Structure 1
C-alpha cells in the first residue's frame, strides 16, 4: 500500500504496537519553528491521508509528524482490542518522538473527528508535552446529554463487537462496508454534497484492501472507540483550544459546545462546509488557525 503522505516514513514500536509516522523535514529556519502533530479520524477507511491539506500547508514551514493510528494506514493492524487507551498511547508516542527531535519544545496538535477525543485525552494526561490543541469537527459535542462516565469508560454496545467480529461474516461485512460506492456514499454524507475529494476517495478504497484492515473498524462500529467520559476530558484542558466545524452534511450537531463557549482558553470558528473543513476552504481555515496560533 502506498504511503498516505510524502514525508519521510518512520516506524516506532511501543505501547501502541508498531506505528507508522510521516515526518516533514522543513528547510532552514523553519526547522526551528514550533512542531505540529496531525491526528486523523477513525472510520472504516481512516488514515493520515485525511490530514493532507494540513500537511501540505505546514510541512515546509515547520516540523510536522502525522501518525497513522493503530489499525489504520501503515500502522499495525493485528487482531487485538482497539480502545481509546490504545489510540491515546499512539498519540502520546508520536508527540514524544516529535518533541524529542525538536529540543523538547511543547508541540501543537491538530486532530480530526474521533481523533480529537484521543488527542484531548493525550493532552489531559501529559499537558507539558503540548502548547495548543486544534479540534476539527470533533466528536463528543452532539446533543445536550453529558458524557461524564467513569474514567476510561467507553460507549461500546455490550456484545456487539463480539457479534460483528465472528469469522462467519466479519470479512464479508467489512467488504460490503468498504465497496468503492459505499465509501463514496459516506464521503458524500461527510461533505454534505456530491462533490468530494477524489484523491481521498481513491486512497480510502486502497487502504481498506490491506490485510487485517477490518479489525479496528469493527471495534469502531461496536462503539468501543468512543469515550463515555469525554466531557470530563474536554473540561480538564487548560491549554489554548481551537474548535472548528462545518455546517453541512451529517455531522453538524454541536449543541454540546455551549458548555465550553464561556471558557477563556477555548475559541470557536464554524465554516460553511462539510466536516472536512480544510479540504473545502483551506485558505480561510488556515488563516483562522494561524491567527489562533499567533495569540499564543
Structure 2
C-alpha cells in the first residue's frame, strides 16, 4: 500500500471516528435533555396583584400583571429580551409604584406566561403585543393616556408602538435601551429585522432544538450571562432563580432562538428614537457588556429627552432602585396633568 493510500485510509478513519463522536455527543445531549432536565418546573407569578391572560388577535394570548387600585396615570412596564426574559425583570419598579398609581407589567410573546408557541418572533409581533396591552389598560381607565417603561431591546419596540399610536402615551422611559451602540444601531429599512431564517430553522428544530436550549440555560450559564448584564458577580439571586424556572417551561426555546438568529433586532432603531416627540426619560449604567452609548448625543440635547447615567450595570433598578425611582419621579413631576383621551 502506498503512503498516499495509507494517509487517505487514516483520514477516512479519523473522519469516521469524529462522526461517531459527534453522533454520540448529540445522542447524549438529547438523552440528557429528555431524561434529566425538568421542563415543567413550578412557575409562580412573577409579581403580586392581579394576574391574567388577555387575548390579542395579532399577538396571541398575553400575560398581564396589574395592581390598579390606586388613582393616577397608569404605568406599563415591559421586560427585556434574552434567553430567559419575563416580567420579574421589572419587579423593583412594580413593587415601588403599586399603591401609588395603577401599574401593569407585560410578559411579551414567547416569555413568561404569554403564548410560547413555535412561530417567528419579530419586532412587529412585540409591537402588536404592546398595542394590545395599552388598549386594555386604557379601556380600564377611561381612555386616558399612560406612561410606559421598557428595558433594553424592548425599548425599541416601545418606541415604535408609541410612534404608531402617540395619542395613547404621556411619556416613555427607557432603561439601558439597545440601539445607541455601533453594532445594533439602525438606519435601515423601517419595520424590518435582522433575522436569518436559515439559522432560526437550524436551531429551532427537533430533535436538537430543545436539548441545545437546555444546554444554554443551565444555571452556571445563566449566572455567567447575568454577571455580564450586571457587570459584576453580585447579581440578584432571586432574579436568577426565577429566570431559571421560566426558561424550563414548555416552549421556552422558541422566542430565544429567534432572538439569537436576529429576528428580534430592528433594522431602524436609531431612527425610531430620533423620531420620538413625546417626553422621554432614559437611564443607563457604565459597567458590563452593555455600555456602548456612543450615539446618545444624537438625542440627548433635545428638549423632550432627559438622559441620566448611574454607576451600575444594565439593570440599575436592581442595583440602585432608589436612584432610579428618584430620577424617574423627578422626570414625571415635570409633566403636566394628562387630559383624558379616548382610544381612537
TM-superposed CA distance for 1:156, in Å, is: 1.6
Q: Which residue of 1 aligns with 2:5?
A: none
Q: Which residue of 1 aligns with 2:60?
A: 17
Q: How does 1:111-130 map to 2 (within 5 A)?
A: 111-130=150-169
2-structure distance, mates of 1:76, 1:189: 28
Cα gap change, 1:214/1:144 in structure 2, threshold over 3 Å: closer, same or farther? Answer: closer
Mapped partners of 2:320, 2:185: distance in 1: 31
Structure 1 residue 145 displacement after superposition: 7.9
How many angstroms does 1:144 deviate by?
A: 7.7
Query: In the aligned structure 2, how far is the partner of 1:167 from the partner of 1:257?
Result: 42
SS in 2 for 1:49: helix
In 1: Cα distance, 2:277 partner to 2:68 partner: 30
SS across alignment from 2:64: strand
Q: What secondary structure sits across from 2:167 in the alignment?
A: helix
Q: Distance in 2 between matches of 1:122 and 1:7?
A: 26
Aligned CA RMSD, in angstroms, stands at 1.2
- CA distance change for structure 1 residues 146 and 17 in 2, over 3 Å: closer, same or farther? closer
Provide the aligned length of Structure 1 versus Structure 2: 292
SS at match of 2:308: strand
Q: Provide the TM-score with structure 2 as the length reference.
A: 0.83
Q: Pick closer, same or farther for the CA change 1:48–1:146 going to 2, 3 Å.
A: closer
Query: Hey, what does 2:233 align to over in structure 1?
Result: 194
1:197-208 paired onto structure 2 within 5 Å:
197-208=236-247
The alpha carbon displacement at 1:100 in A equals 1.0
Measured in 1, the distance between the counterparts of 2:309 and 2:116 equals 34
Runs of 5+ unmatched residues, structure 2: 1-42, 336-344
The one of 184, 189, 196 aligned to 1:150: 189
Structure 2 residue aligned with 1:43: 82
Q: Is the 8 A contact 1:134 1:241 kept in 2?
A: yes
Structure 1 residues 1-296: aligned runs within 5 Å:
1-14=43-56, 15-26=58-69, 31-143=70-182, 147-157=186-196, 159-296=198-335
Matches of 1:179 and 1:94 in 2, distance apart? 32
Give the drift of 1:258.
1.5
Tell me by how many angstroms 1:88 deviates.
Answer: 0.5
Deviation at 1:162, TM superposition (A): 1.6
- Gaps of at least 5 residues in structure 1 are none
Structure 1 stretches of at least 4 aligned residues deviating more than 6 Å after TM superposition: none
Whole-angstrom CA distance in 2 between matches of 1:140 and 1:146: 4
Report the TM-score when normalising by structure 1.
0.96
Q: Is the 8 A contact 1:32 1:102 kept in 2?
A: no
Alignment match, 2:19: none
